[in-house]
Structure 1
Amino acid sequence: MTDRPATPTVTDADARRVAFGAFVGTALEWYDFFLYGTAASLVFNRLFFATDDPVVATLAAFASFAVGFAARPVGAVIFGHLGDRIGRRRCLIVTVTMIGIVTGLIGLLPTYLSIGLAAPLLLTLFRLLQGVAVGGEWGGAVTLAVEHAPPERRGRYAAMPQVGAPVGTLLSSGAFLAVATLPPESFDSWGWRLPFLAAFPLLGIALWLRRRVEESPLFATMLETDERASSPVREVVTRAWPQLAVGAGSAFLGVGGFYLITTFAISYGTATLGLPRSLMLGATLVAAVVEIGVVVLGGRLAERHGAWRVTVAGGIASAVAAFPAFWLLDSRSPVLVVLGVTVATALLSVPYAVSGALLTELFPAHLRYSGVALSSNLAGVVSGFVPLAATALLAAGGGSSAMPALLLVGISLVTAGAGALAPRLFAERDRVVAADR
């Protein structure tokens, strides 16, 4: 990977410490963010978007879920600019604090029956703020991890923040699985709030770890030599838009496909197939455990074969497995349901595992935070509407899983195509660096 200033020497010990700090903060961010997706399927549609039509209520809950994704580019612009101007570490402390506080406050919100229309409005506002924080989190975390890593081992360290996603899923699904055992009246009145309130103590742990992480040595060098871009977001949009588009496409499956096979699948399994919510939550737990191994392996494969090749392979494999995965869900057999969710999640996690390595390779160092954040969050904007689109397609298809499965095929092929285009843009990145010099 070519960086604008000379890359400072770093050690594996430093890289591991920074990558772990990035992982912990990212795990908390995704725990908080994923909680909303699970709650949208099980709680918010009933308690905050009250209506006599359960489909309309679910659509409204998923629409508020999508708002968080729509807000993510705002966070990418704000924190991308600041991260490339004042430092990666400072921005990451702000983002983790912001999402931890907002998520805890969701657990304190009164429901529609208590305060009427103000309940869904406040919930949507908090989701908006969640989106802004997450929009600046992942791009900074992966940039910090990569810039602390030895060049030949960037694949594995870029994958560390990615491990935060399945761990966040594991924690959020596990938290909801625990409270789902409560009697229905207890679950609706206070049980669902406990996973959100847990964000407060988890924030304290994340802040303690993240404050111990040092600034990127590469950024420190850029700061000393004044190699920073004056307007990094503008430069990315105007001069690196092909990389931006390819980066967003390569990240699409890891985000949009994930929410299709988890958030939408939970709703589909419980509301359409009549499966127990404990089974669907349990399936996401098993899938999250498997995903951790896939992400770790993917980082190593990126070092050996190149992140773009791994992205193409994962996209094609996910497209092939899309219909079989939904057929397994439709069987209503607990074992097959878990298998379907797990296999689909594992395959779409292959390109997700190398997303950090691929995106950081697309952009030069002085535009990296902005470029990575904008790319991933452009994919996130569209991804936030995937459960909503899948629910609408399900209704249009008379309850058949064929249309949601076809949607997963389309998302998978977009990512495979973007991965195939990525190598052509690495030379363009180098030309941007040369022109700036």
Structure 2
Amino acid sequence: MSPESKIHVGADSKTPEGTSRSTPPARASDDPDYAANLKRATLASSIGSALEYYDFALYGLASALIFGQLFFPAMGASAALMASFGTYAVGFLARPVGGLFFGALGDRLGRKAVLMITIAIMGGASTLIGVLPTGAQVGIWAPIMLVALRLLQGFGAGAEQAGATTLMAEYSPTQRRGFFSALPFVGIMVGTLMASGVFAILGQIDRDLLLDWVWRVPFLASIFLIAVAVFIRLRMQESPTFIKLEKQDQISESPFRELIGSSMPSVLRGIGLRMAENGGSYIFQTLGISYVTTVVGVSKSIGPLAIACGAAIGMLVIPFSGALSDRFGRMRVYRFGAALQLVLAVPSWWLLSLGNPYLVVATLAVSYGIGVNVMLGAQCAALPELFGNRHRYIGVAVARETSAILAGGIAPFVGALLLSLLNNSWVPLAIYVLVLSVITFATTFVTPETRGRDLGLAWDAMADPVHGPEAVASESKDRVDA
């Protein structure tokens, strides 16, 4: 039986050519079982997000500040920094592979099972980085082992955020999906805050002691986050949408084939939406810190402190942005965030170039904490809403992780290369952020408004009978009001 022939749409939902897209009634807010499961899902997703971004922010900060000396000691300072950022980018190359592999499993086996596997792989790789020998100890084998673990880390992380995004969107009450879907992404800020706080503290430690053994401690600490995340996820129930698919025998036998055959327009829009958010995030967290530390000459503790402040701001901005997207629509809020980052691009890099520690902290905190995270808050519900229920996990994973390479993974490396080739000028870096922001800003005008969309539908938002941004927003409002 072909996958298409197994799609059984409910009585209140017609085919894409039809007109009805009604959403099933939301569970009562005082339903104790629903409330408990929603709480577990939020907590489980948040812990996973915290671990992923603790690991990735930790690796990014280490790449900017110490990995060059630890694993590439024979190179000059500039070459070692580029090599260090090269290993950072390698992890992003593995993420789409992990997204494809685990995304397909998530659509076939369930969200919960895959999230258990990915957290163990990702956290285990990060912990093992803490026991690696350095270049001075084993020569070329040190960066080889570092790259291998970085690939494994990226492979596990490739479906972690897609799973958390999909799980929470499918668990959340329809009318407040933007807000609830954004809550686990506060874990991103918690993880970033932890990593930045750790490196701000490490910046005060004697340099020789830091490079000797102290740098290992933050990576080894990942094992405690793994234990907590696994414990919580063991008690979590499967997504209601996936349970319904199982009961109705609608689970796709080939989610990737369905995705390629029917969902490439949605994937391309997801990638476009992520360019400014993901690229801006990693540019400010890694390249910005490296620039103010190695080029401008501010203290090594200032950059991590700035990102920690930005993460603290983001903890408020993300759920607030998600709530705004419930009221005004996903694309309107997303467009505002992209426009804000576009406006801040040139002034922010100019201010960073001045080298004033207070301006560095304020600029990075605002650019990362507000500019990036307004988009992230709207994105949490928007990406899952773009895809049909049978290939939603892999659809979100492919869109997220492809953009992670194009925007986030190569950004620090390209930025370091631009600095090296153009006499450490900040202007190309500002232009880089401008280009990413323009791509995302333009994408919001060609992406359907998905607020209030029924996540039980088998087809994508692009296949809805009326999918213009304003038309879908109006239809969603009418449905919610009804």
Does the C-alpha gap of structure 1 residues 253 and 263 become closer, same or farther in structure 2, counting only changes over 3 Å?
Answer: same
Q: Distance in 2 between matches of 1:11 and 1:381?
A: 41
Name the counterpart of 1:353.
377
Q: TM-score, normalized by length of structure 1?
A: 0.95
Give the drift of 1:433. 8.2
RMSD of the alignment, in Å?
1.9
Name the counterpart of 2:225.
202
Q: Distance in 1 between matches of 2:167 and 2:357?
A: 41
| Code of the aligned partner of 1:369 | Y
1:254 aligns with 2:277: yes
1:429 aligns with 2:460: yes
Match of 1:395 among 420, 436, 448: 420
Offset from partner CA, 1:219-264 (integer Å, 9 cap, x none): 0010111111221112112211010000011012221111111100
Give the conservation status (yes or no) of the 8 Å contact 2:329–2:449: no
1:159 aligns with 2:190: no
Give the conservation status (yes or no) of the 8 Å contact 1:46–1:57: yes
Give the drift of 1:40. 0.5
Name the counterpart of 1:34.
57
Unaligned runs of 5+ in 2: 1-7, 11-22, 30-34, 466-482
Give the conservation status (yes or no) of the 8 Å contact 1:23–1:160: yes
Match of 1:343 among 366, 384, 396: 366
Map 1:130-169; keep pairs closer than 5 Å: 130-169=153-192
Give the conservation status (yes or no) of the 8 Å contact 2:331–2:449: no
Map 1:259-274; keep pairs closer than 5 Å: 259-274=282-297
Match of 2:96 among 56, 69, 73: 73
Map 1:24-173; keep pairs closer than 5 Å: 24-173=47-196
Give the conservation status (yes or no) of the 8 Å contact 2:64–2:84: yes
Name the counterpart of 2:436.
411
Q: Distance in 2 between matches of 1:403 and 1:252?
A: 17
Give the conservation status (yes or no) of the 8 Å contact 2:130–2:219: yes
| Code of the aligned partner of 2:325 | A
Name the counterpart of 1:377.
401
Name the counterpart of 2:4.
none
Which stretch has the larger CA shift, 220-229 or 102-111? 220-229
Give the drift of 1:4. 5.8
1:365 aligns with 2:389: yes
Q: Distance in 1 between matches of 2:299 and 2:202?
A: 14
Q: Distance in 1 between matches of 2:314 and 2:66?
A: 26
Normalized per residue, the structure richer in helix is 1
Give the drift of 1:432. 5.2
1:328 aligns with 2:359: no
Moved over 6 A (4+): 424-428
Q: TM-score, normalized by length of structure 2?
A: 0.86
Does the C-alpha gap of structure 1 residues 430 and 58 become closer, same or farther in structure 2, counting only changes over 3 Å?
Answer: closer
Give the drift of 1:11. 5.0
Give the drift of 1:50. 2.1
Q: Distance in 1 between matches of 2:25 and 2:350?
A: 51
Give the conservation status (yes or no) of the 8 Å contact 1:11–1:149: no
| Code of the aligned partner of 2:443 | A
Give the conservation status (yes or no) of the 8 Å contact 2:341–2:372: yes
Does the C-alpha gap of structure 1 residues 229 and 283 become closer, same or farther in structure 2, counting only changes over 3 Å?
Answer: same
Q: For this pair of structures, how many residues does the alignment match?
A: 432
Offset from partner CA, 1:93-130 (integer Å, 9 cap, x none): 11111111110100000000111111000000101011
1:351 alignment partner, SS class: helix
Give the drift of 1:164. 1.8
Q: Distance in 1 between matches of 2:390 and 2:346?
A: 42
Give the drift of 1:266. 1.1
Give the drift of 1:277. 0.8
Q: Distance in 1 between matches of 2:222 and 2:420?
A: 35
Q: Distance in 2 between matches of 1:152 and 1:134?
A: 30
Does the C-alpha gap of structure 1 residues 4 and 120 become closer, same or farther in structure 2, counting only changes over 3 Å?
Answer: farther
Q: Distance in 2 between matches of 1:25 and 1:113?
A: 34
Which stretch has the larger CA shift, 252-261 or 62-71? 252-261
Q: Distance in 2 between matches of 1:277 and 1:417?
A: 37
Which stretch has the larger CA shift, 334-343 or 5-14? 5-14
Offset from partner CA, 1:326-360 (integer Å, 9 cap, x none): 12211211111111101111112111111121111
Give the conservation status (yes or no) of the 8 Å contact 2:118–2:160: yes
Q: Distance in 2 between matches of 1:89 and 1:157?
A: 18
Offset from partner CA, 1:57-116 (integer Å, 9 cap, x none): 111111110011111111111111010001000000111111111101000000001111
Match of 2:262 among 224, 236, 239: 239
Q: Distance in 2 between matches of 1:9 and 1:78?
A: 32
Q: Distance in 2 between matches of 1:298 and 1:397?
A: 37
| Code of the aligned partner of 1:353 | G
Give the conservation status (yes or no) of the 8 Å contact 1:95–1:134: yes
Q: Distance in 2 between matches of 1:26 and 1:4?
A: 33
Q: Distance in 2 between matches of 1:433 and 1:210?
A: 34
